[in-house]
Structure 1
Amino acid sequence: GRLSGVFILKYPPKTTKFTNAVDIPVEFIEKNVKLRGKIHHVTEKGLEVEHIPITIPIVTSIQRKWQSKGLLLVRLAGVELAPSGMVWLQKELKPSQMVWFQLLGREDLALECRVLVNKGRFLSVCLNEEILRQGLGRTARIEGLHHDSRLYWKLHKRLLRAELKALKKNKGIWQEESFSERVRDCISNNKWGDLDWSWKRIQKIYKKKHLVLCITGLGQSLL
């Protein structure tokens, strides 16, 4: 005989428009799904983004009639933004600019994300890293990811490398501090002891021997 029945979707499809952070399934966050969105505002709390789901021509016009309106609050995961960083974002991100945001965690009504902006046809820039590369913020713990996970360390090392570039070039917030003060500030801000950071991981990030010795000595004095 023929099989007939109704398909039940376990999770909402990617054509679903999310207008509230709490509506995004836990599975989407656990799998670090990337969503597309349109920038509306840059605020002290984060980026206000309109989720733009994948569109299917047949259903798009129907969806527009019943989809509710609302913006998602997206924060740059792993970044403590300086005031100058927010000013930079307001200049760089134009209203209605499209971005991709990778879900890493959710706290209250805010989404902790890795945010990507297209720069040309084949190039995209990670805003989290670019802020640190310009010296417009400091690295911080990536909320939502367990610090023992591979993804946590992969992303955190990229952020630290970006911060180190600004530190070495005296850019942004690092301009007026001495080298040793900058390294000490970087270490204490990350609370590496609290995160059970192994010194072997530090050495992989900071390849130059004199810098590794400096960091190790300062870090041990802080622990």
Structure 2
Amino acid sequence: MAVTGLMVLGRSIKLTTKFVSPSNIPLDFIRKNVKLRGRLHRVTERGLELEHIPITIPLISRWKSQPYEVLLIKIARVELTDAGPVCLRNELRPYRTLWFQLLARENLSLLCYLLMNRGMYFTVSLNEEILRRGLGRTVLIKELDHNSKAYWTIHKNLLRAELEAVRTGAGIWKEEIEKLNHVEKFKDSWREIWTKENPFKRRLSWRLNPEKESYYEKLKQQSENYKSKVSNCTFILKVREVLSHVKLGRR
């Protein structure tokens, strides 16, 4: 009776059902972001081909024949580079067990958050690991439910992993980091040159700043006016006259 009750309960929530197509997965599973278990068969350019492993009930599950079909799983919110699939083929061996958390359904594929075992008690997110190694970029996907708590948790973790790759210059960010470092060094050297007090800088600052230029011209005009006034005063004129007579007397 207990086994029969578990079987009826499992069938009612479809825990024992083996999903062979994305259309067979209930919509509630996707809304609640249910985690399912699968066996990896192949890594392709489109995504990962996983065979769903349903929950088994002792004795009864052995009598039940299971269909053989694979699900196309796409790594949600990650755009792989050209080296991404090659690295996944080297890292993920066939028939390895992975957990995939349902996020959305896209035509004949599923957008999932993948988890793989690292040791006996630890799991690592495949989505984050790809970004952390610089083998992909984060992208926005319209099919995902942006109002769910799971979405924002995954979104934060993915951005954190990508930021770590940017800081360390891993993968595709290596060239970008080298460019940024070169620009920063150029800026620093340029700033050091221009912070020194030199006459060329002062002359150029007068030319570049129209307010300072007008003030300079105004000061120059005032100086010329003052010189003209001083040179035309009576005392200076008399001194010049006396000096001219002295020169004539010498001659």
TM-score of the pair, normalised by structure 2: 0.65
Q: What one-letter code is carried by the residue in structure 2 that aligns with 1:88? A: C
Match of 1:155 in 2: 154
Measure how far apart 1:179 and its partner are.
Answer: 7.0
Match of 1:19 in 2: 20
Does residue 28 (structure 1) correspond to residue 29 (structure 2)? The answer is: yes
Question: How many residue pairs are counted as aligned between the two chains?
Answer: 174
Checking the alignment, whether the CA contact within 8 Å between 1:77 and 1:143 is kept in structure 2 is: no
Larger Rg: 2
Q: 1:179 to 1:157 in 2, by over 3 A?
A: farther
Match of 1:215 in 2: none
Does residue 99 (structure 1) correspond to residue 91 (structure 2)? The answer is: no
Tell me how far apart the structure 1 counterparts of residues 84 and 134 of structure 2 sit (CA, whole Å): 8
Checking the alignment, whether the CA contact within 8 Å between 2:43 and 2:85 is kept in structure 1 is: yes
Q: What one-letter code is carried by the residue in structure 2 that aligns with 1:25? A: P
- After superposition, the CA RMSD in angstroms is 2.1
Q: Which runs of 5 or more residues in structure 2 are unaligned?
A: 1-7, 182-251
Measure how far apart 1:14 and its partner are.
Answer: 0.9
| Percent sequence identity over aligned pairs | 51
> Relative CO higher for 1 or 2, CA cutoff 8 Å, sep ≥ 6?
1
Q: 1:158 to 1:69 in 2, by over 3 A?
A: same
Measured against aligned partners, the alpha-carbon deviations of 1:68-107 in whole angstroms (never above 9, x if no partner) come to: 2110000111101111111111011100000000000001
Measured against aligned partners, the alpha-carbon deviations of 1:170-216 in whole angstroms (never above 9, x if no partner) come to: 1101111147879xxxxxxxxxxxxxxxxxxxxxxxxxxxxxxxxxx
- Between Structure 1 and Structure 2, the one with more helix by share is 2
**1:36 alignment partner, SS class:** strand
After TM superposition, the runs of 4+ consecutive aligned structure 1 residues lying more than 6 A away are 7-10, 179-182
Does residue 59 (structure 1) correspond to residue 84 (structure 2)? The answer is: no
Measure how far apart 1:146 and its partner are.
Answer: 2.6
TM-score of the pair, normalised by structure 1: 0.72
Checking the alignment, whether the CA contact within 8 Å between 2:169 and 2:177 is kept in structure 1 is: no
Q: Which runs of 5 or more residues in structure 1 are unaligned?
A: 1-6, 183-223
Checking the alignment, whether the CA contact within 8 Å between 2:74 and 2:112 is kept in structure 1 is: yes
Checking the alignment, whether the CA contact within 8 Å between 1:105 and 1:143 is kept in structure 2 is: no
Q: What one-letter code is carried by the residue in structure 2 that aligns with 1:78? A: R
